[in-house]
Homo-oligomer: A and B are copies of this chain.
Amino acid sequence: MTVDRDVAGELLAALADPTRREILEALAARGEASATTVAAGLPVSRQAVVKHLAVLDAAGLVEARRRGREVRYAVRPERLTAMARWMAAVATEWEARLGAIKQIAESPAPPPP
């Protein structure tokens, strides 16, 4: 119950796959595109792209809008921004801790002879 569906993990896992990142790049370059269109520019099948888009959508990285008989996908920056902030915060905290440890390790200063 503590894990709460692991939102961070979902996002990171979504981003971790190279094919998925290529899809995101393709979407960002085109502004918006359908799964078929994207698949045409990649070495994988349309179905694979569809699955990836589902994952990306679940992670909130992408937005789907029905446009007649096709479905247009567009990139969604908010989650990425949030993630970046989160990572920066964690990094800062780590640095703080490392600093603290270092101080403690140096507290018994060796007196010069």
Contact = CB atoms under 8 A, between A and B. Distances in A.
Contacts of A29: 97
Contacts of A70: none
A81 interface: yes
A14 to B, nearest CB: 9
Given A87-B87, A97-B31, A16 B16 contact: yes
A96 to B, nearest CB: 9
Number of copies: 2
Interface of A: 3, 6, 8-9, 12-13, 15-18, 21, 28-29, 31-32, 74-77, 80-81, 83-85, 87-88, 90-95, 97-98, 100-101
Given A76-B94, A80-B91, 14 more contacts: A3-B18, A9-B17, A9-B18, A12-B15, A15-B16, A28-B94, A31-B97, A31-B98, A75-B94, A75-B97, A75-B98, A80-B87, A80-B94, A84-B88
Which 4 A-B pairs give the minimum distances between C-beta atoms? A84-B87, A12-B16, A84-B88, A31-B101
